């Protein structure tokens, strides 16, 4: 049975200023639709492509988006930042209305969006529980019957009579999630907000969502954690620039998200103005850096423990012979260099290729074991004394997923344990 139908919804936003007339704008749009005036006739908007400046002050955060959800489905909604995920959930939660299109809902709906949404900051935790229940249309007795379960699950009993404006973001999320799942809505909407909670609470939430799904209720789940989406969702949709790119099997959608090539990582040709480390000038120039996955495709998203090929194009301005070493390393926001890779880990050998004047492509294949997260590339060409001919640091951005190419391979621990996982052999031998 269908519990949610979204038909041709679009959401327009104005750029460059705060729209203090949004409520009036909604009334104006409703009137114009009533008398048959098309929205496109009075406000020309463009697709929400963040990478180009555009010619209009209006953008479509969502553009002619349609899909439906059946009872008991757990629908994953994935996409890069700016794809329209959070805007969609705000429309479904009635935080704001669509510019065009219709949304049909059957049943009671609860939402867990960004931290603080749905809470009155001056009210206590207890008062907000009853406020949220009343908004869902529940009787006081019905809310009271769930009250102890909510307090126990949230783990904020000590602060339940404290105004929520004094809560930490983690406490906000704990209480908000506990309210949303225990007041038993037919449809539950959850944004990436769960990332605020600690690892133990996230596991607790995932377990609870499984129970909700098994009970026949419907969940819409937005996340950048593909491992969780893969594990939890029976179906997924991929959004890009406000529209549905793919709607179908979760595994297929996750694969498309990870390898679809919708990249703003800025790999490729290195701009002339990009900062460089140069001591020996006029010897060579690093022209471009690209990353390739195991299928040989340009990419900036890789599976856990997937082989990465770094291809670097270099213009040698004067003969170098064998007086060079190539160094590559990966870094993240905390550590500039985490893993180190060299064209020559030993002494220069007779097989070390001499470089005459000309253009070359260096290729480094690394069987990386980086933990899930975002990383950048550092690459340098040095002479054998360690002085750089040319070098770039912090270039581009790529992501390692928690999922492996093999569906059974995934990383489920915290990255706080480190940044690199080594392949080791572990044995236990009984000695007595």
CATH number, domain of 48, equals 3.40.50.300
Confirm whether 370 is domain-assigned. Answer: yes
| 321 and 251 housed in the same domain | no
| 195 and 283 housed in the same domain | no
Domain boundary among 199, 229, 259: 259
User: For 401, left (φ over 0), alpha (ψ -120 to 50), or beta?
Assistant: beta
Confirm whether 332 is domain-assigned. Answer: yes
| 333 and 195 housed in the same domain | no
Contact 221, 209 (CB under 8 A): yes
| 190 and 294 housed in the same domain | no
Tell me which residues of the chain have a pLDDT lower than 50.
21, 41-42, 261-264, 346-351
CATH code at position 352: 2.70.50.60
Confirm whether 161 is domain-assigned. Answer: no
Confirm whether 179 is domain-assigned. Answer: no
Contact 19, 89 (CB under 8 A): no
Confirm whether 203 is domain-assigned. Answer: yes
- Predicted local distance difference test score (pLDDT) of residue 48: 67
H or E element: which one contains 315?
strand 308-316
- Predicted local distance difference test score (pLDDT) of residue 375: 86
| 409 and 359 housed in the same domain | yes
| 290 and 401 housed in the same domain | yes
pLDDT in tens, 294-336: 888 888 888 888 889 999 999 999 888 888 888 888 887 666 6
How many domains is the chain partitioned into structurally?
2
Tell me the pairing of strands 74-78 and 100-105. unpaired
| 304 and 372 housed in the same domain | yes
* Residue in 110, 87, 80 with CA at minimum distance from that of residue 10: 87
Q: Say whether pTM exceeds 0.95.
A: no
Residue 36 in tokens: 């048959």
Domain boundary among 196, 230, 259: 259
| 291 and 366 housed in the same domain | yes
Cβ-count burial of 363 within 10 angstroms (0-12 exposed, 13-18 middle, 19+ buried)? Answer: exposed
| 224 and 307 housed in the same domain | no
Confirm whether 52 is domain-assigned. Answer: yes
| 236 and 315 housed in the same domain | no
d(CA 395, CA 427) in angstroms, rounded, equals 40
| 330 and 404 housed in the same domain | yes
Count other C-beta atoms under 10 Å from residue 143's C-beta.
20
Confirm whether 316 is domain-assigned. Answer: yes
Count other C-beta atoms under 10 Å from residue 197's C-beta.
19
Residues in the chain, how many? 432
- Predicted local distance difference test score (pLDDT) of residue 29: 59
Domain boundary among 207, 233, 259: 259
Count other C-beta atoms under 10 Å from residue 34's C-beta.
8
pLDDT in tens, 60-91: 889 889 999 999 899 999 988 788 888 898 89
Q: What residues make up the domain containing 90?
A: 2-107+186-259
Contact 49, 243 (CB under 8 A): no
| 300 and 411 housed in the same domain | yes
Confirm whether 149 is domain-assigned. Answer: no
65-81 as b/e, with b when 16 or more CB fall inside 10 Å? Answer: bebebeebbbbbbbbbe
């Amino acid at each position: 049975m269908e519990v949610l139908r979204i038909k041709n919804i679009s959401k327009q936003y104005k750029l460059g200023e705060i729209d203090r007339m949004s409520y009036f704008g909604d009334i104006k749009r409703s009137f114009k639709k009533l008398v048959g005036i098309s929205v496109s006739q009075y406000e020309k908007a463009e697709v929400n492509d963040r990478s180009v400046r555009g010619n209009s002050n209006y953008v479509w955060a969502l553009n002619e988006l349609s899909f439906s959800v059946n009872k008991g489905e757990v629908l994953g909604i994935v996409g890069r930042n700016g794809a329209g995920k959070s805007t969609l959930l705000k429309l479904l939660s009635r935080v704001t209305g669509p510019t065009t299109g219709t949304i049909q809902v059957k049943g009671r709906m609860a939402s867990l969006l960004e931290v603080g949404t749905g809470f009155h900051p001056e009210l206590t935790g207890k008062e907000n529980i009853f406020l949220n229940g009343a908004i869902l249309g529940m009787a006081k007795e019905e809310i009271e019957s769930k009250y102890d379960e909510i307090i126990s699950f949230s783990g904020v009993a000590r602060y339940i009579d404290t105004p929520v404006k004094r809560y930490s973001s983690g406490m906000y999320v704990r209480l908000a999630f506990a309210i949303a799942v225990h007041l038993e809505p037919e449809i539950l909407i959850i944004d990436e907000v769960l990332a605020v909670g600690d690892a133990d609470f996230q596991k607790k939430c995932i377990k609870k969502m499984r129970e909700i799904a098994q009970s026949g209720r419907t969940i819409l789940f937005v996340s950048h954690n593909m491992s969780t989406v893969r594990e939890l969702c029976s179906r997924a949709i991929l959004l890009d620039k406000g529209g549905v790119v793919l709607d179908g099997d979760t595994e297929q959608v996750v694969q498309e998200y990870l390898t679809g090539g919708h990249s703003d990582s800025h790999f490729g040709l290195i701009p002339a103005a990009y900062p460089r480390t140069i001591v020996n000038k006029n010897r060579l120039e690093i022209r471009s850096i690209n990353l390739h996955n195991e299928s040989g495709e340009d990419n900036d998203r890789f599976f856990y423990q997937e082989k990465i090929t770094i291809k670097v194009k270099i213009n040698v301005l004067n003969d170098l012979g064998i007086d060079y070493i190539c160094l590559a390393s990966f870094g993240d926001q905390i550590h500039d260099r985490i893993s180190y890779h060299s064209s020559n880990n030993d002494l220069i050998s007779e097989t070390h290729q001499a470089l005459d004047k000309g253009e070359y492509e260096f290729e480094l294949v690394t069987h990386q074991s980086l933990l899930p997260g975002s990383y950048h590339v550092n690459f340098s060409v040095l002479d054998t004394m360690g002085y750089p001919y040319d070098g770039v640091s912090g270039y581009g951005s790529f992501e390692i997923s928690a999922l492996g190419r093999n569906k059974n391979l995934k990383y489920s621990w915290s990255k706080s344990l480190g940044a690199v996982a080594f392949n080791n052999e572990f044995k236990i031998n009984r000695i007595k």
